Structure 1
Amino acid sequence: MHCLIVDTQMDRLNNTMIAFLEAGLQVTGTGSARVAQTCLRRSLVDVFVMDAGPMAPNDGSPRARLLDLAEARNEQLVTLLLTQDVAEDTESMTKAYQSVHCVLGHDVAPRLAAKLALASLAERTVVSGFDVEPVLPRVMPSRTPVFQSARAA
């Protein structure tokens, strides 16, 4: 699984990259929109984490163009946005972009963001339209154990 992280705050970018690497994902991180754009054009991305900053859906800003490109190139993309105003951006961004699974505050712990991304990845692999019975653990019937032994003569 490949994760692209775009964040202009280098300390947060580094900490987020470490958290996603420790979670087992291959990570590319950058603070540059041009580098992110090149990465999106040249490789497939499963998770896209972006500092939303001042951005409105489809406003033509570099961040909005990145999100448009990410969704166009990656069919089952999971996007996490980091933002100042979680409530307002959740409303607008989840309506405008189908890949946005989480809108998180800038102060969220990077490990929590990684866990949320992994949960979203696990959710997208569930096949819809099939009735699948849950696999329950096998319970052995309760019996008194029988011990047999043979004495050596």
Structure 2
Amino acid sequence: MKCLIVDTQADRLDDSMIGFLDAGLQVMGTSSLQVAQAYVRRSEIDVLVFDQSLRSSPQIQLVRAAEVRNTGLITLVISSDVAREADILTQAYPSVHCILGEDVDPRLVAKLALASLAEKTETAHSKRTLTQRQVHPMSAPVFHSARAEVRAA
């Protein structure tokens, strides 16, 4: 699983990258939107973590491009005002799974990302299983009758 972290605070970026690496994800971290955009264009990512203080047109383009290129993308947002941002960001970006305060432990952010990935996988598996049951009529028992076989002959 690949993660892209875009954060303007160098210490938090380093701690976040370590938290995600410890959780077993491949991580790319940057404070530059240009680097992040190049990475999104050239690589598929499963998790995007970005700092909401990067409010700008390039940031909006970054998230949109990541959502288009990565259909199962999970986005986590770090914000100084979680309550205000929650409604705005969840409506603006379909991939947003949660909005976290700036003081949240990076290891917790990694655990939340892994939980979202696990939920996505489980939900996709459940839908596939349900669809298979509906598509395959052979899952219902088939009864054979000697009387039916005699009439057919």
2:12 is aligned to 12
Render the CA deviation track for 1:39-77: whole Å, top value 9, x for unaligned: 00000000000001163xxxx622111111110110000
1:102 is aligned to 98
Aligned residues: 127
Determine if the alignment matches structure 1 residue 33 to structure 2 residue 33: yes
Cα deviation, residue 124, structure 1: 0.5
Q: Matches of 2:102 and 2:90 in 1, distance apart?
A: 18
Render the CA deviation track for 1:1-54: whole Å, top value 9, x for unaligned: 000000011000000000000000000000000000000000000000000116
1:93 is aligned to 89
TM-score (norm 1): 0.80
**For structure 1, which runs of at least 5 residues remain unmatched after alignment?**
132-153
Q: State the percentage of identical aligned residues.
A: 57
Determine if the alignment matches structure 1 residue 78 to structure 2 residue 78: no
Q: Matches of 2:68 and 2:32 in 1, distance apart?
A: 20
Match of 1:89, SS state, is helix
Render the CA deviation track for 1:104-148: whole Å, top value 9, x for unaligned: 0111100110000000000101234345xxxxxxxxxxxxxxxxx
TM-score (norm 2): 0.80
**For structure 2, which runs of at least 5 residues remain unmatched after alignment?**
131-153
- After TM superposition, the runs of 4+ consecutive aligned structure 1 residues lying more than 3 A away are 128-131
